[in-house]
Amino acid sequence: MKIKGIKYIAPFLDNSGYAKAARGNILALHKQGVPLTLDPISFEQARPDLGVDGKILNELINKEIDYNVVLIHTTPEFWSKYREQGKINCGYTIWETSKLHPDWPGYINDNVQKVLVGCSWNEGVFRESGVKIPIGVVPHGIDMDGFKGIEPFHIAGVKKDAYVFYDIFQWCYDEKTRVLTRDGFKYFKEVSYDDEIATLNLKTEELEYQKPEKIVRFRRNDKMISIKGRLFDVCVTPDHKMVVKEKSESNWRLTPLNELISKGKSDQKILPEKYRAKKNCKWLEGVEESIFKIPMLADNKYPIREHTTTEISMDVFLEFFGWYLSGGSTYAAKRGYVNTITQTKEKYIPEIMECIKRMGFNPFKKNKDIIFHSREMHYYLKKFGKSKDKFIPVWIKNLSSRQIKIFLDSLFKGDGSLYKNGDWVKYTTTSKRLAEDVQECLLKIGLSGAISTEDPMLKTPEKIGDRYIRGKLLQYIVSVNRERNEPSMCYAKLQEIDYDGFVHCLTVPNHTMLVERNGKVIFSGNTERKHPLAVIKGYWHEFKEEDNVALVLKTYRSSYEEAEKNAIRTTIKRLKMVTPMDYYPPIYLIPNMLTEAEILGLHARGDCYVSLDRGEGFGLSHFTAGAAGNPLIATNFGGVTEYAKDDNSYLVDYTLTPVYGMPWSPWYRGDQLWSEPDILHGASLMRHVYENQEESKARGRKLRKYISKNFTWEVIGKKIIKEIEII
């Protein structure tokens, strides 16, 4: 079959890896004189300066030509949308784990006559995953002339004679989801690297607070999975990892949601009865406090006086504070400072009176009010707000489970509902913050709670005495869940929904977190293929103050340059906290967008490209570094091995591990494998390259020679033409 012309569909104008590869293929075909018309799609908003190449690409967009081939250079789920009847349809894609998502072979086999992949390693992965149609191997190409006249990129702060290691890399839940932090529930967009996130230790089932290692936020226009039930409500990407165990199992695990889903009647998607979700935990970080000290005040009128109420038993104060938040108020009057607890349930009044006496005060009863005077208590209690603004201080939420239960017991008696045996049923308040604090406290005594709202204006007025009373403020009701804290997921309604908005996630060491949506809480998984922390750890491990080295980290895709720079700085700062050393070799960050020429200049300035990724479909940045003649240190796995060999690169050992931490993409699953690089081996290779610079330069030249022989645009252009014409 002779090619008349090619309609090339790809995201060739943005800054994604697919775009860079597509640009190379298009320009390679253009140099071979193949008639082209381009149909641009977009994977992201960033638009790099493409220089002369950009002008060529723009001239080819929607150009009128006679074509008989449609080449679709995207991930396969889009191929049915762009294939054309009566044309030769060919797809181009790559993958970076041990096997494809189960849906991919169908997308590929059903929509194109041939699929082109970027490396021989991918050919095996695609075939073993079930791709039946012909597979052609067409690696990415490069214009070797592009390096001519390139000036080394200036990196502020780096010594001219420093040996520069460098890496180029790219640093979920919907927008209604919140995560529990040490300071209460926060929307993901409000979370910072200083927050401590409530996580679950899967081995011990303990609640552990951990700071995020990474905060992820990006736009998604695709399917999401909504799971709604009486006990939980989540909306996540299809492969988001859920904290689950089977009914017969004792250990919790992280499993992608799409692996839990089965088909029920009429092919309806369901979650089987055997799977359990996790809503509660153990709280062992809490502290026992024996004494509560009343903050003493002094001024000219009221000097500090020694008396018995400066210190109170903590257990007694917690009991009192529960009563106070439920029905208390405080105000300054002409004749003193009045602290009041209003209680309509007569049976509890003696209990409240006795509690206040044990605190060292002299309460008295007036109608349904229990009153005592204390200037210090007035000033302490007033900061906890009036009815709709009340809250529980963080220090109480950080106490032991035993002491939190003392506080909750009087809180629920004061403004809640109880079973006849004294167990709590629900708690009602007009303060949203207080309701959420109660929800957190329930978690820390091994229970869980769900929050709902009720508009009192829609209720029948309540008769109190000879009057009918109806409140005006929205009420928040915390329902206590005692028995079903490991509920079956089968009772939830599962629905696939269209979603267009931002999705969010965090990376924390435990890879779990407590999330809340519409008042319901559940433990769930967090959100990596790129692995810059491994490079940093290896670099710090190997080099000392006397070594004249620098590590440059360039992120290649950011619409939030300053935010990304701060995020990486914070990550490095946190890494220093857990990696105490006398000296940290310097790291330099480049988060801002660079032109194509500046990227080549960075390769010209760098001395050794080092990347300890978990998986690459091809590794364009690695490839470009090799084309520049720099020695390459890379994980010996995936598409990198198409050009990086034992005799021209420094390949890092690895072990295969299940994929994790990629909830933003629907195509990663826990049954896929990728590499976990040996950081210490990578570090030793960095040391070897630094101390044997002549050897490493020779190896870099050998890699450049290999690339210039086998991966030029001329070679790749001819490969594409050959693979299409033999269809």
- What is the pLDDT at residue 264? 65
142 strand-pairing partners: 712
pLDDT for the residue 267: 62
User: Cα(375)–Cα(381) distance, rounded to whole angstroms?
Assistant: 10
Same domain, 330 and 246: no
Co-location of 22 and 134 in the same domain: yes
- What's the token pair of residue 487? 């509920």
Q: Report the pLDDT value the prediction gives residue 335, as an integer from 0 to 100.
A: 78
Contact 163, 692 (CB under 8 A): no
Burial of 360 (0-12, 13-18, 19+ CB in 10 A): middle
Residue 614, domain CATH? 3.40.50.2000
Distant-in-sequence, close-in-space partners of 201: CB < 8 Å, separation ≥ 6: 207, 208, 510
Instruction: Classify 280 as helix, strand or coil.
Output: coil
Confirm whether 146 is domain-assigned: no
The DSSP-derived string for 140-153 is --B-GGGGTTPPPP
- Nearest CA to 525 among 100, 173, 171, 283? 173
User: Can you give the pTM of this predicted structure?
Assistant: 0.57
- 471 in a structural domain: yes
Question: Confidence band (pLDDT; 50, 70, 90) for 483?
Answer: confident
Task: Tell me: do 555 and 499 sit in the same domain.
Answer: no
- Confidence check: pLDDT of 242 > 90: no
* pLDDT grade for 2, boundaries at 50, 70 and 90: very high
Question: Which domain-ending residue is among 498, 525, 552?
Answer: 525
- Do β-strands 6-10 and 36-40 pair in parallel, antiparallel, or remain unpaired? parallel
Range of the domain at 114: 6-141+717-726
CATH number of the domain residue 207 falls in: 2.170.16.10
CA distance 116 to 122: 10
Mean per-residue pLDDT of the chain: 86
Q: Is 148 a member of any domain?
A: no
Q: Which of 8-22, 57-71, 264-278 is modeled with the greatest confidence? A: 57-71
Phi, psi of 8 (to 5 degrees): -105, 115
513 and 473 housed in the same domain: no
570 shares a domain with 444: no
What is the pLDDT at residue 324?
Answer: 95
Quick check: is 459 in a domain? yes
Give the CATH number, domain containing residue 443: 3.10.28.10
Query: Same structural domain for residues 399 and 460?
Result: yes
335 with 386, same domain: the answer is: yes
Among the candidates 462, 481, 500, a domain finishes at 481
pLDDT in tens, 260-312: 777 666 566 677 778 888 999 999 999 999 999 887 765 445 544 444 457 89
Q: What is the CATH number of the domain that holds 86?
A: 3.40.50.11930
Note whether 510 and 537 are same-domain residues: no
Q: Which two tokens stand for residue 647?
A: 């005799």
Greater confidence (80 vs 425) lies with 80
Q: Are 630 and 647 in contact (CB under 8 A)?
A: no
Q: Note whether residue 152 is domain-resident.
A: no
Mean pLDDT of 389-409: 95
Structure tokens at 660: 């994790």
Same domain, 424 and 504: no
Q: How many domains does the chain have?
A: 4
Q: What is the pLDDT of residue 62?
A: 94
User: What residues contact 485, with CB distance under 8 A and at least 6 apart?
Assistant: 278, 279, 280, 446, 447, 448
311 and 409 part of one domain: yes
Phi and psi for 316 in degrees, rounded to 5? -65, -45
pLDDT digits (tens, 9 = 90+) for 309-367: 578 999 999 999 999 999 999 999 887 899 999 998 899 999 999 999 999 999 999 98
User: Percent of the chain, pLDDT > 70?
Assistant: 84
Is residue 362 in a domain? yes
269 pairs with which residues across the strands?
263
Q: What is the mean pLDDT of residues 569-574?
A: 64
Give pLDDT tens digits for 138-179: 999 999 998 998 999 999 999 999 999 998 865 455 567 789
What pLDDT does 458 receive?
A: 61
Assess if residue 230 is contained within a domain: yes
Within this chain, do residues 473 and 352 fall inside the same structural domain, yes or no?
yes
Q: Give the tens place of pLDDT for each residue, 20-55.
A: 899 999 999 999 999 999 999 865 555 667 888 889
Do 375 and 456 belong together in one domain? Answer: yes
Query: Residue 266 has what DSSP assignment?
Result: G
pLDDT in tens, 108-121: 999 999 999 999 99
Assigned domain for 437 exists: yes
- Of 473, 496, 525, the residue at which a domain comes to its end is 525
Q: What is the pLDDT of residues 164-173, one digit of tens each?
A: 999 886 545 5
